[in-house]
């Protein structure tokens, strides 16, 4: 995405990232790619070499080593944060080129589905750019289909173009 991004730090496998969001306040963010068990992927009929990672991100809880994806930080830099998170996918795929990314919004209480919808609007806005490097599939009801603008999806599967 051609939006300003934060510099990220990553582990050797490019599965964990950290960056600092600087807005109304300073918040340490973490991005994690966490693998689904192979049997869950195989159950759906995919070969065992296909790996699916859940993409999650959230805030470091101050004075702890724990993270939360339930916080609504409202730091005034949402576009920059989402652009930074999207950018980590490019690094992730450099080290894990065959992996699929599963992505759904976290659901803070009384905001059911709101974040997923928000991410969908961003996907729509930058779809042409994202579509250059990846195929986006959307989950509607419990069925997966090729992403189309204007539909309300509840999760996304993102596959890097070969």
8 or 21: CB nearest other proteins: 8
Question: Which residue bears the tokens 């709101």?
Answer: 114
Which residues make up the interface to other proteins (CB under 8 A)? 2-5, 7-18, 30, 32, 34, 36-37, 40, 43-46, 50, 52, 54, 56, 58, 67, 69, 84, 87-88, 90-91, 98, 102, 104, 106, 135, 137, 139, 142-146, 154-155, 159, 161-162
| C-beta of 74 vs 145, nearer to other proteins | 145
Q: Classify burial at 139, counting beta carbons within 10 Å of its beta carbon; exposed 0-12, middle 13-18, buried 19 or more.
A: middle
Rounded least distance, CB 121 to other proteins, Å: 20
In terms of CB distance, is 75 or 154 closer to other proteins? 154
What's the rounded Cα separation, in Å, for the pair 119 and 27?
A: 20
Closest distance to other proteins from the beta carbon of 18 (Å)? 6
């Amino acid at each position: 995405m051609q939006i300003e991004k934060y510099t990220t730090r990553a582990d050797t496998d490019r599965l964990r990232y950290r960056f600092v969001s600087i807005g109304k306040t300073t918040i340490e963010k973490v991005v994690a790619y966490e693998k689904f068990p192979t049997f869950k992927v195989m159950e759906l009929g995919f070969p065992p070499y296909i790996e699916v990672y859940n993409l999650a991100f959230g805030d470091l809880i101050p004075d702890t080593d724990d993270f939360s994806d339930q916080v609504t930080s409202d730091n005034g830099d949402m576009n920059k944060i989402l652009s930074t998170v999207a950018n980590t996918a490019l690094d992730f795929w450099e080290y894990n080129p065959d992996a699929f990314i599963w992505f759904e919004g976290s659901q803070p209480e009384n905001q059911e589905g709101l974040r997923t919808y928000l991410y969908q609007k961003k996907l729509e806005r930058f779809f042409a750019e994202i579509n250059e490097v990846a195929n986006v599939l959307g989950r509607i009801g419990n069925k997966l289909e090729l992403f189309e603008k204007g539909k309300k999806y509840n999760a996304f599967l993102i596959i890097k173009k070969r």
